[in-house]
Amino acid sequence: MIIYVVKPGDTIYAIARRYGMSPGKIITDNGLTNPGNLVVGQTLVLMTDTIPHTVKKGDTLYSIARANGVTLAQIKAANPQIRSPFRISIGQVINVPVPTKKYGTIDVNGYAFPGINRDVLSKTLPYLTYLSIFSYQVKPDGSLTTINDTPLIEIARNAKVAPMMVITNIEEGASFSNDLAHTILTNAQVQQTLINNVINTLEAKNYYGLNIDFEYVNPEDGDDYDRFLQTIKNRLNALGYILTTSLAPKTSADQIGLLYQAHHYPEHGRIANHVILMTYEWGYTYGPPMAVAPINQVSRVLDYAVKVIPSKKILMGMPNYGYNWTLPYKQGTAARSVSPVGAVNLAVREGVAIQYDTLSQAPFFYYKDDTGARHVVWFDDARSIQARLKLVDAYKLGGVSYWTIMQYTPQNWLILSSMYNIRKVL
């Protein structure tokens, strides 16, 4: 696999010829809808094992191998037609292996809403361990809202992907509620009702396990949240279900803020089978323009997390979206969400180059709309995806979790599957 960054004058056909590939394969692998138009800075994932090299004066197999980061033995294996390594000719074409490295096997979770496009779902499932269906909303009396999750559960299981039930403290028609969480976490009777309803749903719907995503919990309810997790984990364990929890991206135990304080990393790490770190939303809808998941900030979260949570229990959050901000940014104004594929298509349509920020390891570009207003778009491409996926190996994590898989991003799955094997539990 090669990540190629488009340069001025590049065409799909010239790139394909340079790397000895079919143009159609590059187009299909990358999901290009307008392959005749590329923009400078756009990434292409080239799924090839070898690169053709035309022998120049002074070349030897050893010098070619060294220049390309492979061994002489690998060069020989890729060129069985060469009987003597000392006899190569100027103008001769040699296959140079592309250095590849698999980092191991990981768990991959993907969040999806019940209305996900079935074609998107079917193309994504081969890359998942778990499908977390979002979400059952808890009610103050311990009952649950209903969702149409049965079709997704059946599709997931047929694809050998474990379906996960998700419960949230989202009020119907509203957002995450600290008052709702307080009601649940401080009332033992309501908790028991909720746990019974969860278990009944797990059994009736044929789920594999439970994901609890309680956010904006009052700081004073944090210990009650820990006790609730232990209580429900004991019940789930007895029945053979697993428990995962979703945690805000903290960089220290005493981080201030309603999003963070009740999320006690050590306790979640002790109780849950997996914890999902929501390592995204530095760039967010109502915030100033910046990368959604800058690698320097993600690394700070992981630096803390692996000190207090067994690293193999951690699934690092991976965003599958970006944002489009109108400039100049004014506090309180909303950015528009954009998919990675949509971002590139927008750059192509506007004819602007994509730039890359090395600190955050994320691509971005500027353009002017039809009214003359200036915009900046931050998103993910093959480079930023690869950079963050390397953190999984660097920190010895258990895997990753995508929010969300509602949009299909071909390059993401090409990169992921080139770097890791995906564990299947069914």
Q: Do 98 and 110 contact (CB within 8 A), yes or no?
A: no
Q: Is 0.75 topped by the overall pTM?
A: yes
Both 383 and 275 in a single domain?
yes
Both 74 and 114 in a single domain?
no
Q: State pLDDT tens for residues 171-191.
A: 988 999 999 999 999 999 999
Both 271 and 319 in a single domain?
yes
Q: Of 154, 171, 172, 215, which residue is the catalytic one?
A: 215
Both 273 and 292 in a single domain?
yes
Both 178 and 264 in a single domain?
yes
Of 69, 97, 125, the one marking the end of a domain is: 97
Q: What are phi and psi of 286, to 5 degrees?
A: -105, 15
Of 75, 97, 119, the one marking the end of a domain is: 97
Both 27 and 123 in a single domain?
no
Q: Do 255 and 247 contact (CB within 8 A), yes or no?
A: no
Q: State pLDDT tens for residues 276-292.
A: 999 999 999 999 999 99
Q: State pLDDT tens for residues 134-173.
A: 999 999 999 999 999 999 999 999 999 999 999 999 998 8
Both 250 and 203 in a single domain?
yes
Token output for 16: 């394909």
**What percentage of the chain carries pLDDT values higher than 70?**
100
| Beta carbons within 8 Å of 42's beta carbon, 6+ residues apart | 5, 6, 344, 347, 348, 354, 381
On average, the pLDDT of the chain sits at 96
Tokens 């999902």 sit on residue: 276
Both 61 and 109 in a single domain?
no
What pLDDT does residue 173 have? 84
**What percentage of the chain carries pLDDT values higher than 90?**
95
Active site residue 350: no
What pLDDT does residue 86 have? 79
Number of domains in the chain: 2
Both 110 and 86 in a single domain?
no
| Beta carbons within 8 Å of 363's beta carbon, 6+ residues apart | 41, 43, 343, 354, 355, 356, 357, 378, 379, 380, 381, 383, 384
Q: Do 314 and 275 contact (CB within 8 A), yes or no?
A: yes
pLDDT over 90 at 100, yes or no? no
Both 41 and 130 in a single domain?
no
Of 97, 123, 152, the one marking the end of a domain is: 97
| Beta carbons within 8 Å of 253's beta carbon, 6+ residues apart | 265, 266, 304, 308
pLDDT band at residue 8 under the 50/70/90 scheme: very high
**SS3 letters across 313-370:** HEEEEEECCEEEEEECCCCCCCCEEECHHHHHHHHHHHCCCCEEECCCCEEEEEEECC
Both 124 and 73 in a single domain?
no
What mean pLDDT is predicted for residues 236-260? 98
| CATH number reported for the structural domain that contains residue 259 in this entry | 3.20.20.80
pLDDT band at residue 87 under the 50/70/90 scheme: confident
Q: Which domain holds residue 294?
A: 105-422
What three-state secondary structure class fits 386?
Answer: helix
| CATH number reported for the structural domain that contains residue 64 in this entry | 3.10.350.10
pLDDT band at residue 15 under the 50/70/90 scheme: very high
Most distant pair of Cα atoms in the chain: their distance: 82
Both 339 and 379 in a single domain?
yes
